[in-house]
Copies of this chain bind each other. A is one copy, B any other.
Amino acid sequence: MSTVRVSTPGGSYPIHIEAGRLERLADSIPHDATAIAIVTNRTVAAHYGERARRALAQTGLRVILIELPDGEAYKDWQTLNLIFDALLQNRFDRRSVLLALGGGVVGDVCGFAAATYMRGIRFVQAPTTLLAQVDSSVGGKTAVNHPLGKNMVGAFYQPVAVDIDTDVLNTLPPREISAGLAEVIKYGLIIDAEFFAWCEQNVAALRALEPAAMTYAIRRSCELKALVVSQDERETGLRAILNFGHTFGHAIEAGLGFGTWLHGEAVGCGMVQAAELSAATLGLSSDSVDRVRNLVEAIGCPTQAPDLGAARWIDLMQVDKKTEAGQLRFILLPRIGQAVFQSVPAAALQAVLGKTVVPSL
């Protein structure tokens, strides 16, 4: 088993990475817990709900299972409220513990429920998608969407543990693997050029879910994310670099309707756009832009963005949480392995949209 440690003002906790980790979930439940709710969705419950329940029953505590509807379209208040209803109906108290068993949507909604139920109870992340394992389950960002913007309502709230079972990737659709790999290569792009090169060399092994390669990619991603959020839990500075590709990506998701493209797919495409914008404003080499585009393509993500109309693109990007005083700001790469956060001239942005957007959808 690999263990990566995350330390933030909001809490310090371990990330356990191992094959078969779901069998050992009981190890992550605090000793003074009074009851456990597994929060999951229908799809994940069918695969792993019973296994998680059996593992948690070893604590001797009452374990209930809360099934949410499946998909980004349900990452909203109504779904959150299903959790509150179940917790209140089952008289869950302040020492109860939630376990988020699922992908990013389950983790974000369950985490926000934990952050706000009775003003905060403890929760464990057990991510079952690659994207959640390498990104959303680590660092304490929780949220639901609002009709006017993604992740607009939420909290920074850390789990007490993250349990990553690498075996679960075997039941993931290939599209989900591709989406997760987009966040993996993101870490290389923003902070670790050597890891980016390693991803280029091992892309076939990663897409084939070769265990050694995949375990290394997950561990390195978690280490890099832990490094960043340990320095800046509440995204007042450094942490913003983790959003590389996300301003474009969020516009794609919102413009097409959440759930049309997977989050990781939108981020993959967004990273190509952000690389182009880096070339136009910071002189990132065209060779580096090509490496970004080629690797995004090699992991199986789209590299050409949908045509939402230029005005709507700008409009959608302005809802981004990184906007300040109406000024659009982007994470950009002076070179591969290094990221900066700055505003850009409108003309450069327009040119990049012209270059990266497919004219007719």
- Of chain B, the residue at the smallest CB distance from A85 is B148
Asked if A120 contacts B152 (CB within 8 A), the reply is no
Annotate A255-296 by CB proximity to B: 1 below 8 A, 0 otherwise: 000000000000000000000000000000000000000000
Asked if B156 contacts A34 (CB within 8 A), the reply is no
- Of chain B, the residue at the smallest CB distance from A143 is B119
User: Secondary structure at chain A's binding surface: helix, strand, loop or mixed?
Assistant: mixed
**Residue from the list B117, B153, B324, B325 in contact with A117, Cβ < 8 A:** B153
Is A60 part of the contact surface with B, judged by Cβ < 8 Å?
Answer: no
Annotate A321-343 by CB proximity to B: 1 below 8 A, 0 otherwise: 10111100000000000000000
We find that the number of chain A residues with CB closer than 8 angstroms to chain B is 38
Annotate A101-121 by CB proximity to B: 1 below 8 A, 0 otherwise: 000000000000001111110
Determine how close the nearest CB of chain B comes to the CB of A95; give it in whole angstroms: 6
CA distance A146 to B155 in the complex (A): 19
Annotate A139-177 by CB proximity to B: 1 below 8 A, 0 otherwise: 001110010110111111000000000000000000000
Is A310 part of the contact surface with B, judged by Cβ < 8 Å?
Answer: no
Return chain B residues, CB-CB under 8 Å to A141. 119
Copies in the complex: 2
Return chain B residues, CB-CB under 8 Å to A186. none
CA distance A58 to B323 in the complex (A): 25
Asked if B321 contacts A94 (CB within 8 A), the reply is yes
Return chain B residues, CB-CB under 8 Å to A143. 119
Asked if B119 contacts A156 (CB within 8 A), the reply is yes
Asked if B234 contacts A118 (CB within 8 A), the reply is no
CA distance A120 to B140 in the complex (A): 13
Determine how close the nearest CB of chain B comes to the CB of A97; give it in whole angstroms: 13
Apart from A84-B146, A91-B319, A118-B152, 18 more pairs, CB < 8 Å: A34-B324, A34-B325, A84-B153, A85-B148, A88-B146, A91-B326, A94-B321, A95-B324, A115-B155, A116-B116, A117-B152, A118-B154, A119-B142, A119-B143, A119-B151, A119-B235, A119-B321, A120-B234
